[in-house]
């Protein structure tokens, strides 16, 4: 049985009982949802953000750095449940719901180099992890993970560095501002 992703209307409401498979979503540009978990830590060397390098076989943006853990929302699933599931599946971290902090819901429209259309609402979450966290990567999704200093991440994403999935400056600035806000608390 093929996995179905939850479809949404223009007001960011899940369409009850309406889902579509990956080929339909990417081929027709159907409006769907994704949960993005940005993991960060305040290490001895400074603030760092965890990036995953997408696997070579990924349909969209293979071998690019991206969100710590992310994925599409399955039919009938909530964004929060998807965030918890994807973090466990992709990098082996069991997340407690109360540790995820929703920082934004954004609308995105991107066309990948293979013409796959990402037309989605994105729920962005922050997760602060301790320095000694170990990861177990799902090889078909993630090639590697890397802790990157926040200042390096800022510089690279603001200069349209093609090492990253092209989420855009507003998206990356939202993540950076949320981490900086957490540091100021």
Residues 51-95 have pLDDT tens digits of 999 999 988 899 999 999 999 999 999 999 999 999 999 999 999
C-alpha span between 37 and 71 (Å, rounded): 9
Q: What is the CATH number of the domain that holds 86?
A: 3.90.79.10
Domain containing 25 equals 5-184
Torsions phi, psi for 179 (to 5 deg): -65, -45
Q: How many domains does the chain have?
A: 1
Mean pLDDT of the chain: 94
Express each pLDDT in 143-165 by its tens digit.
999 999 999 999 999 886 789 99
Residue 37 has pLDDT above 90, yes or no: yes
**What pTM, to 2 d.p., does this model score?**
0.95
Over pLDDT 90: what percentage of the chain?
Answer: 84
Q: Is the pLDDT of residue 1 over 70?
A: no
Q: What are all long-range contacts of 140-143, with beta carbons under 8 Å and residues at least 24 apart?
A: 140/55, 140/57, 141/52, 141/54, 141/55, 141/58, 141/89, 141/90, 142/52, 142/53, 142/54, 142/55, 142/90, 142/91, 143/52, 143/53, 143/54, 143/55, 143/56, 143/63
């Amino acid at each position: 049985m093929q996995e179905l992703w939850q479809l949404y209307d223009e007001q960011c409401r899940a369409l009850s009982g309406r889902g579509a498979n990956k080929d339909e979503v990417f081929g027709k540009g159907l409006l769907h949802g994704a949960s993005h978990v940005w993991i960060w830590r305040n290490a001895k060397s400074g603030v760092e953000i965890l990036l995953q390098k997408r696997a070579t076989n990924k349909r969209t943006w293979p071998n690019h750095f991206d969100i710590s853990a992310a994925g599409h929302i399955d039919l009938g699933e909530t964004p929060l449940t998807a965030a918890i599931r994807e973090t466990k599946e992709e990098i082996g971290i069991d997340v407690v719901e109360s540790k995820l902090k929703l920082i934004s819901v954004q609308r995105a429209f991107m066309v990948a180099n293979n013409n796959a259309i990402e037309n989605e609402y994105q729920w962005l979450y922050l997760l602060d992890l301790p320095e000694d966290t170990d990861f177990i990567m799902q090889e078909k999704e993630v090639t590697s993970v890397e802790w990157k200093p926040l200042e390096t991440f800022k510089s690279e994403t603001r200069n349209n560095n093609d090492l990253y999935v092209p989420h855009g400056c507003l998206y990356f600035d939202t993540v950076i501002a949320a981490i900086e806000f957490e540091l100021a608390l």
